[in-house]
Amino acid sequence: MVLNLQQMQEITRGASRIEETDGYFCLRRFTKRQADTYREAGEEGLYRRTYSTAGVRLALRTDSKRLTFDYRRTVATSRPTAYFDVYENRHMTAHFGFETLQPETGHVEILLSEGEKSVEIYFPWEACFDLANVQIDECASLTGLYRPRKLLCFGDSITQGVYSNHPSLSYACRLADLLDADLTNKGIGGDMVFPELVCECEANMPDLITVAYGTNDWGCRARDEFLKKYTLFMQKLTEMYPKIPICAITPVWRADWNKKGTKMGIPAYEVENLIREACRGFSSVRVISGWKVIPAYTDFYYDGVHPNDLGFGVYAENLYRTVKEEFDKN
């Protein structure tokens, strides 16, 4: 059975829009208006990264013994690799991917177990994958799998999941799992706090929002400029989602935290003070110290800046303990 657009919309999570173009389903985690704000600002590289499928997954219940699709892969980040994770009944059963950018098109067949089960297929954070001829067994059952709550995450490369070996094991995906929430991931590698991004309300109203900027701003922006932009971001976000709790996560530890010559001219951990100042006037915003969520050891990092899968796991677990309080209030 070949799935149509309506069925794809029923089983896709983490995409703010699904477009059907040239026979392919294009899964986009940013609305067109949100993506265009980067292009209008002259940030072509950031615009391109909006097309990566970070946090996007297919979530379905079926008795099919297989799921297949053709794909069209386009560059969205500088990484040539791209990996998928497959779960049945919340247990990982497959992990596969590509080590190079070639081939740009191809076919994937995922074998599934007997009987009815939940199936979740996590898409890569590195690249853009458009799908065609998505099929399950003829006459197989098919229903969309929904989690009871919704999580919306804003941030930079760490939120996008950069350098996670498994797309399902980034902190945003793990946090969503712990909260039993469907995730929409707006993380963009290299991004700084960008108020223009808060231009359109999500069609699926979130129950909790996390915001994790500051580590790129630390190296590239003066303190006054950062404070102004962060305050404006939060002002727009709280006006757009007046009843939704927001958790502002300050930068996590990084090996070069005391680097000289940054625009801010302060140690990286002091960005937290600026974020606390920016959030002071917003009652729905709770500031969480990112410096405390991952141990200050390179064992937890891929490159001293981006967490590895181990670091992402610790990040998610420590973050969960705090954000769960906000989730439970809502």
| CATH (domain of 269) | 3.40.50.1110
Please check whether residue 150 is in contact with residue 185, taking contact to mean a CB–CB distance below 8 angstroms: no
Q: What is the pLDDT of residue 250?
A: 98
Same domain, 117 and 244: no
State which residues form the domain around 35: 5-144
Q: What is the pLDDT of residue 287?
A: 97
From 280, 282, 268, 269, select the one nearest 240 (Cα to Cα). Answer: 282
Which of 121, 144, 167 is a domain's end point? 144
- As a dihedral over the C-alpha atoms of residue 305, residue 310, residue 314, residue 316, rounded to 10 degrees, the angle is 80
Dihedral sign, Cα of residue 255, residue 260, residue 266, residue 271: negative
Q: Which helix (H) or strand (E) holds 118?
A: strand 117-122
Which of 144, 165, 190 is a domain's end point? 144
List 330's β-bridge partners, or say none.
Answer: none
From 183, 176, 84, select the one nearest 125 (Cα to Cα). Answer: 84
Please check whether residue 305 is in contact with residue 215, taking contact to mean a CB–CB distance below 8 angstroms: yes
Quote the CA–CA distance of 315 and 300 in Å, as a whole number: 10
The 3-state DSSP class for residue 216 equals helix
Scan for tokens 């969309």, then name that residue.
144
Could you list the beta-strand ranges (E) of 201-303: 208-212, 246-249, 285-288
Residues 6 or more apart in contact with residue 135 via CB below 8 angstroms: 1, 2, 3, 67, 68, 69
- Taking CA atoms, 20 is separated from 6, 75, 76, 140, 175, in Å, by 11, 19, 19, 24, 30
Same domain, 135 and 274: no
Dihedral sign, Cα of residue 13, residue 182, residue 191, residue 165: negative
Which of 144, 179, 212 is a domain's end point? 144
Whether the bond into 103 is cis, omega within 30 of 0: yes
Same domain, 157 and 138: no
Q: What is the pLDDT of residue 327?
A: 67
DSSP 8-state assignment for residue 42: T
Q: Which strands make up the sheet holding 127-136, listed edge to edge?
A: 17-21, 24-28, 127-136, 66-75, 105-111
Same domain, 325 and 186: yes
Residue 10, domain CATH: 2.60.120.260
Same domain, 156 and 129: no
Same domain, 319 and 238: yes
Same domain, 59 and 192: no
The 3-state DSSP class for residue 199 equals coil
Burial degree of 276 (CB within 10 A; 0-12, 13-18, 19+): middle
Same domain, 110 and 224: no
How many structural domains compose the chain? 2
Same domain, 120 and 196: no
Same domain, 99 and 199: no
Scan for tokens 């590698």, then name that residue.
189
Same domain, 127 and 157: no
Same domain, 271 and 216: yes
Tens of each residue's pLDDT in the chain, 330 residues: 999 999 999 999 999 999 999 999 999 999 999 999 999 999 999 999 999 999 999 999 999 999 999 999 988 888 888 999 999 999 999 999 988 877 789 999 999 999 999 999 999 999 999 999 999 999 999 999 999 999 999 999 999 999 999 999 999 999 999 999 999 999 999 999 999 999 999 998 999 999 999 999 999 999 999 999 999 999 999 999 999 999 999 999 999 999 999 999 999 999 999 999 999 999 999 999 999 999 999 999 999 999 999 999 999 999 999 888 776 776
